[in-house]
Structure 1
Amino acid sequence: MPRDDVAARLIAALDQGDDVALARLLSDAVRMVVDTGDDTGGSEQGRASVIPALRTRRMRHPDASLEPVRVNGGPGLVLRRPGGEVVGVLCIGVEPDGSIGDVWLSSAPGKLTRWNRGEPAEG
């Protein structure tokens, strides 16, 4: 799968609640790191842990839309509320085989400041 296509496929799988599609996108040893800016963040390892963690994080803002963006020069997603507020940025690490090997989610308000000023921040 093309490197940039991975973001669109991830959006489709999350929006459709398709765990099979998510499993196909993620490497066996996928790792997810969540930076919330407080002690509610953390990390998950492996498909069986990352898939429900992604769904749970997505459902915290059911009215928000996922949009593909560039983050740190690579594919990523932004979670944007209807009024335009960015409530999360997901950086996607793509493995040589095209699967997702790592995801880094930032939902720390202080780290989203530039995204919310209308200046897409790289990272």
Structure 2
Amino acid sequence: MRKVEEFEELRPLLFSLAYRILGSVGEAEDAVQETWLRFDGAAVRPVSVKAYLSAAVTRVAIDVLRSARVRRERYVGPWFPEPLLDDPYQDPERAAELADSLSMAALLLLERLSPLERAVFVMREVFGFGYDEVAEAVERSPAACRQLLVRARRHMAAGRPRFAAARAEREELASRFFAALHEGDVDGLQELLAADVTMVGDGGGKAPQFARAVVGAEKVARLLGSVFPWMRQVGVVLTPQRINGHPGAVFRTADGKVLHTLVLDILDGRIRTVRGVLNPDKLGHLGPVADAWSVDREIRQARRRRS
């Protein structure tokens, strides 16, 4: 029983580690489960249960990531992490690092790293593990881990925006955005968007979506302002929700099934990126998933009736 209690106490940490390495809720949960099996089967009690389990889940996640990278290279369209509504692990001393590393933008930057660089960066930079603990987890020397971290930091810094918006500013802007979206207010949407805003969706070939990224405030505002009123016509509702620590919304059908999510990247008082996760395979952890193709057909039929 003691093993179970110790493991459950550390489960939030293990999941949060694995999710940041993998960018997938399902794969992170599987990695945590595999870690439990290894811990349960271990004949000798580790000196530090936390260090042992953290190293074990990191090794499992590295192995999964190596195989997942091949699948992601063959993925239809852009690949986004699975949306996460709540991070189960909280540490006041590392709150800033944890929050920063959870965003869609940060997770996409992590995709540029090798599996080892990604694991070292997450363990050391995000969770603050010592170099000896990191070295044990990735099976490299502490000196090698320092070099991996230097490279990882360089890649991450090169892709990060210089000035991030404060949380209160993001929330206020997002509130205005979703209010305008709800009303189909094209002008209201456009004034909140950066001139070079990009809207892009991850359907993975399994959901209807725009064929490519939409760029420019006018184009994005017109597309959003014209589509959502028709979605409302067929009963789709949006619920503003923090997703990966940033403003976003979950869209559901009239019967409460998840249709897709949207997440906003905000910088310098404007929305810079609108990311939609539409692939049904990435939404199941949020609840029952809607048939997006069926909703698309309903919208098309509603439009034909009105024309």
Common fold by TM > 0.5: yes
Query: Which letter maps to 1:25?
Result: L
Q: Do the aligned residues in 2 keep the contact of 1:32 with 1:102 (CA within 8 Å)?
A: yes
Instruction: Describe the superposition over 1:7-49 as per-residue Cα deviations: whole angstroms up to 9, x where unpaired.
Output: 2211210121211110111011100111122184421110122
Q: TM-score, normalised by structure 1?
A: 0.83
Instruction: Give the C-alpha shift of residue 106 in structure 1.
Output: 1.1
Question: 1:109 — aligned with what?
Answer: 280
**Separation (CA, whole Å) in 2 of partners of 1:54 and 1:21:** 11
Structure 1 residue corresponding to 2:264, chosen from 85, 92, 101:
92
**Separation (CA, whole Å) in 1 of partners of 2:242 and 2:228:** 19
In the alignment, structure 2 segments of 5+ residues that lack a partner are 1-167, 289-307
Question: 1:12 — aligned with what?
Answer: 179
Which 4+ stretches in 1 moved above 6 angstroms? Answer: none
Q: Residues 116, 55 of structure 1: CA spacing in aligned structure 2 closer, same or farther, 3 A cutoff?
A: farther
Instruction: Give the C-alpha shift of residue 86 in structure 1.
Output: 1.2
Greater helix share, structure number: 2
Q: Residues 111, 20 of structure 1: CA spacing in aligned structure 2 closer, same or farther, 3 A cutoff?
A: same
Query: Which letter maps to 1:92?
Result: L
Q: Do the aligned residues in 1 keep the contact of 2:184 with 2:224 (CA within 8 Å)?
A: no
Query: Which letter maps to 1:103?
Result: V
Q: Do the aligned residues in 1 keep the contact of 2:180 with 2:188 (CA within 8 Å)?
A: yes
Question: 2:195 — aligned with what?
Answer: 28
Q: CA RMSD in A?
A: 1.9
**Separation (CA, whole Å) in 2 of partners of 1:91 and 1:57:** 17
* Larger RCO, structures 1/2 (Cα 8 Å, 6+ apart): 1
Q: How many residues align?
A: 116
Question: 1:58 — aligned with what?
Answer: 228
Q: Secondary structure at the match of 1:105?
A: strand
Greater strand share, structure number: 1
**Separation (CA, whole Å) in 1 of partners of 2:278 and 2:229:** 14
Q: Secondary structure at the match of 2:220?
A: helix
Higher-Rg member (1/2):
2
Q: Do the aligned residues in 2 keep the contact of 1:7 with 1:77 (CA within 8 Å)?
A: no
Question: 1:121 — aligned with what?
Answer: none
Q: TM-score, normalised by structure 2?
A: 0.35
**Separation (CA, whole Å) in 1 of partners of 2:275 and 2:231:** 18
